[in-house]
Chains A and B, each alone.
Chain A
């Protein structure tokens, strides 16, 4: 099965809640899940909410751009989803809205004739079953479960988990609303062939349904985070909320600061004092942090900063995804301020990269920016997160030798550029850390020779970090290719799916995943490019920011595919581009 389901409604319809229940139920039923929500920036009653979920018998790396089933909780809002419907898609809609509507308010007036319409009185059924229409989203889910032959027990379990704590009455109302929809659809509709059908008992699954934000938060906890400083901003706020619940249980603290400048300042201060700390933000907050990030570069103080990119510039599109902060992450700020930037491409990497970022920050004494995006932060996948070893969470600080006592040089020149870093207060290891250019001892020194040496040292250190950064990963049979696709962040999944399809079509295409954005593995990337007639770099930004960074490695201009719709890159767009490029070759 490869089934993409959308639930669409107005904010306040319970769309996102229904999507969450659906995802968890399908995960319990044994399917792979990849899901993403899109909702307005406003709190309630102002815009469209959509949940997109892809369910499969095997792992999926991207959302499909064709919807096989649309659950419409608000027809006016759902009209925008019609162009995405696959041939013979199923549309489940409320056929007894509170008042009569004209064509503009009826999805039935707009769908293509091959679409299979299933009208159910969501509100009436919920009201009859539970005394309130509030459960109409669950009634709709009941209809979906019956149509697609998903046993209701999987949903019951999730509903109990979600509403159990709200009291027996609330729980019962929701269960009854679901069951009313299930019974109605069983009675009225024939099942559809895409359904699951048989559900043999499964062994205990060790996959968990988790969002990118949750994975980042769990990684921070597992890394031994002591302090989190932040200021709320979409889409990073759930990280602070999660940690505010969980971090105190482990002896840590979450502090909401007055702004992002204070947040990064506090993170630097914590690391300076030897405690792991982090902050998470998005574009506008990251912009405020840049001056202090460069302070971290100059003073060689670790920091972990999660930048969950959203549509920009400025306040931009707070609840839409984009990959347009790469320039800011790599180059943002005054001076030659090289820092480490890594970008996960999926939820497991959100976990793994965040975990690793603390060690990188410690070892290379620099701010480490984990560059995720709205799609990654908000999407959920059911993944396996294996237990981590002590080594993976271990302290990577490079401490000075005891024999340095009394003659400690905090910014000592070394081959690697890494100068042993003492925790302030350690007897005999007095030093000053400053944003001014400084000597090996940390005292201000503006001499031309010193600035040149120190600048080179700081860059040498960052480039040496490549050995500890995730290497590019190639997905191809090797050898020469007509088109090589290089992608980063959440767009990589779409690129991989497009390349897979292209290869099945007999096209000579391959994909290269770039996770280390800066420094990057130039030699590996160049070797891949050399085997490609053409190189395509798809990105969710207008300027082609990764292409700007690595394009010079290719012997000729790379082909850019840039989109800024605020939504994930559809695999079909990349696939069409690959086909076109190969035709031209």
Chain B
């Protein structure tokens, strides 16, 4: 019998957990992780703490790169998947290498969402998804005193907290779409504005962005309805969208993310998707859901691996719940939007 080769695309929390589970449960199998990033798996939710200087870079990592080898997992960093050939079970990499597989788990993660109306300003705004992004923030913050935060996802609040710790002047452009895709009622919005203001943040409530421009290497001019301001950095925090563009044409069903059944199977034998890039079918609501957060990613990564090895475990949908961000209670039922 030919040696099993399991390939995991993505080295975020879901991909890492999937790979390690595969190796743990099938020690004879060859397991490869293909990651476009250069680092070992890290905890992205700690990036604001890194920016704030609260933790060193080493504290981000789940394990050093050498640990993959010790555990018998081949980690391939800085490599991109160009396309998938699911009928012949081959991953084709950007550098024209063909990697055959007997089982595949796609854990490509998400990428920052920029609303269509702001796409024209994309190059002027910083996002925060990767360690590389965090290093750009840190470098720019060393030269900037003021930051405009746009959006309102979970990361925006964590970054705001980090900026305040660094004694930066923070303005927060907050409107009803800020918490996309969360439903945001007026009460929540005003509560958020109140709490941010109390912490020293200049909240720009119900203001609309009209334009922005770079006036120098260190300054941007932002025009709002009825106002104009100058800041050193503009941050965009509008949530994440699955990063699956490279899979278009692969035969996988893709909506916002890869459509998978409740067992995370993507419609092909031995092919699974998990983590932020998956849209998971929920038989009870007869619709798809996506997950956010480190813990969910880890759980889903493990589930995908176990099912690839023959398990029949349903992906656990995060329950409708309440959690706190910056002291604000947020309803996470927004995922029902999908």
Interface string of A54-97 (1 = CB under 8 A from B): 00000000000000000000000000000000000000011111
B267 to chain A, nearest CB (A): 25
Contact partners of A43 in chain B: CB under 8 A: none
Cα A114 to Cα B75 with chains together (Å): 9
Cα A102 to Cα B96 with chains together (Å): 9
Contact partners of A389 in chain B: CB under 8 A: none
Q: Is the CB of B96 within 8 A of A113?
A: no
Cα A115 to Cα B65 with chains together (Å): 10
Contact partners of B40 in chain A: CB under 8 A: 113
Residue in contact with A116 in the complex, picked from B38, B68, B97, CB distance below 8 Å: B38
Q: Is the CB of A112 within 8 A of B65?
A: yes
Cα A94 to Cα B94 with chains together (Å): 11
Is B77 among interface residues, defined by CB-CB distance under 8 A? Answer: yes
Contact partners of A106 in chain B: CB under 8 A: 93, 95, 97
Q: Is the CB of A102 within 8 A of B77?
A: no
Q: Is the CB of A113 within 8 A of B75?
A: yes
- For residue B32, which residue of chain A has the nearest CB? A109
Is A333 among interface residues, defined by CB-CB distance under 8 A? Answer: no
Is B69 among interface residues, defined by CB-CB distance under 8 A? Answer: yes
Residue in contact with B98 in the complex, picked from A95, A96, A100, A115, CB distance below 8 Å: A100
Cα A97 to Cα B77 with chains together (Å): 20
Contact partners of B77 in chain A: CB under 8 A: 113-115, 117
Cα A115 to Cα B97 with chains together (Å): 18
- For residue B11, which residue of chain A has the nearest CB? A113
In which size bucket is the chain B interface? 10 to 19
Contact partners of A117 in chain B: CB under 8 A: 77-79
Q: Known contacts A113-B40, A113-B65, A114-B65; is A108 also within 8 Å of B98 by CB?
A: no
Residue in contact with B97 in the complex, picked from A103, A112, A113, A114, CB distance below 8 Å: A103
In which size bucket is the chain A interface? 20 to 34
Within 34-86 of B, Cβ neighbours of A (below 8 Å) are at 38, 40, 65, 68-69, 75-79
- For residue B69, which residue of chain A has the nearest CB? A112
Contact partners of B38 in chain A: CB under 8 A: 113, 116
Interface string of B94-119 (1 = CB under 8 A from A): 11111110000000000000000000
Contact partners of A426 in chain B: CB under 8 A: none
Is A157 among interface residues, defined by CB-CB distance under 8 A? Answer: no
Residue in contact with B76 in the complex, picked from A95, A97, A109, CB distance below 8 Å: A109
Is A99 among interface residues, defined by CB-CB distance under 8 A? Answer: yes
Known: A108-B95, A116-B38. 18 other contacts (CB 8 A): A94-B95, A95-B95, A96-B95, A97-B95, A100-B97, A100-B98, A101-B96, A101-B97, A106-B97, A108-B93, A108-B97, A112-B69, A113-B38, A113-B40, A113-B75, A115-B77, A117-B78, A117-B79
Residues of B within 8 A of A (CB): 38, 40, 65, 68-69, 75-79, 92-100
Residues of A within 8 A of B (CB): 93-97, 99-103, 105-106, 108-109, 112-117, 119
